[in-house]
Amino acid sequence: MSELIKDIEIVDKEKEACEVTNVSKDNAVAGQRKLYIESYGCQMNFSDSEIVASIMEKEGFGTTSKFEDADLIFLNTCSIRDKAEQTVRKRLTQFNKVKKEKPSLMVGVLGCMAERLKSQLLEEEKIVDIVAGPDAYRDLPGLVAEVDDGSKGVNVFLSREETYADITPVRLNSNGVTAFISIMRGCDNMCSFCVVPFTRGRERSRDPHSIVAEAQDLFDRGYREVTLLGQNVDSYKWSPDNSLKGKAQIEKAERKGKDIEIINFANLLEMVAKVHPDLRVRFSTSHPKDITDEVLHTMAAYENICKYIHLPAQSGNSRVLELMNRTYTREWYMNRVDAIRRILGEACGISSDMIAGFCTEQEKEHKDTLSLMDYVQYDFSYMFYYSERPGTLAAKKYEDDIPLEVKKRRLKEIIEKQSAISLERNKRDLNKVFKVLIEGTSKKSDEQLKGRNSANKVVVFPKENYKAGQYVNVLVKECTAATLIGEVV
Ligand code: SAH
Ligand code: SF4
Ligand code: F3S
> For residue range 124-145, what is the model confidence (pLDDT) as tens digits?
999 999 999 999 999 999 999 9
Find the ligand nearest to 80 CA: 3
Q: CB–CB of 243/187 below 8 Å?
A: no
Same domain, 291 and 358: yes
Does 164 fall in a domain? Answer: no
Q: Average pLDDT of 357-383?
A: 98
Q: Are residues 422 and 440 in the same domain?
A: no
| Residues 141, 199 within the same domain | no
The reply to whether 414 and 457 lie within a common domain is no
Cα–Cα dist 477/209, whole Å: 42
- The CA-CA-CA angle for residues 444, 446, 451, to 5°, reads 75
CATH number at residue 448: 2.40.50.140
Measure CA 222 to chain center: 23
Average pLDDT score over residue span 422-444: 96
173 in any annotated domain: no
pLDDT category at 22 given cuts 50, 70, 90 is confident
* CA of 74 relative to ligand 3 center, distance in Å: 16
Task: Compute the mean pLDDT over every residue in the chain, rounded to the nearest whole number.
Answer: 92
Considering the domain boundaries, does residue 47 fall inside one? yes
The domain boundary, picked from 410, 427, 444, lies at 427
pLDDT tens digits along 409-418 = 999 999 999 9
Separation in Å, CA 402 to CA 48, 379, 408 = 35, 28, 10
Range of the domain at 309: 178-427
Say yes or no: 252 and 198 in one domain: yes
Please indicate whether residue 381, judged by its CB atom, sits closer than 6 Å to ligand 1: no
Q: Is the distance from the beta carbon of residue 197 to the nearest atom of ligand 2 less than 6 Å?
A: yes
Query: Is the peptide bond preceding residue 327 cis, with omega within 30 degrees of 0?
Result: no
Confidence band, pLDDT 50/70/90 cuts, at residue 247: confident
**26 shares its domain with 106:** yes
Query: How far does the centroid of ligand 3 lie from the alpha carbon of residue 232, in Å?
Result: 13
Segment (H or E) for 19: none
Could you identify the atom of ligand 3 that is nearest to the CA of residue 231?
7
Candidate of 78, 115, 187, 353 to mutate for ligand 2, largest count of ligand atoms within 8 Å of Cβ: 187
CA distances from 432 to 132, 165, 305, 472, 488 (A): 49, 41, 20, 13, 12
Predicted confidence (pLDDT) at residue 7 exceeds the cutoff of 70: no
Residues 32 and 131 in one domain: yes
| Mean per-residue pLDDT, 434-447 | 93
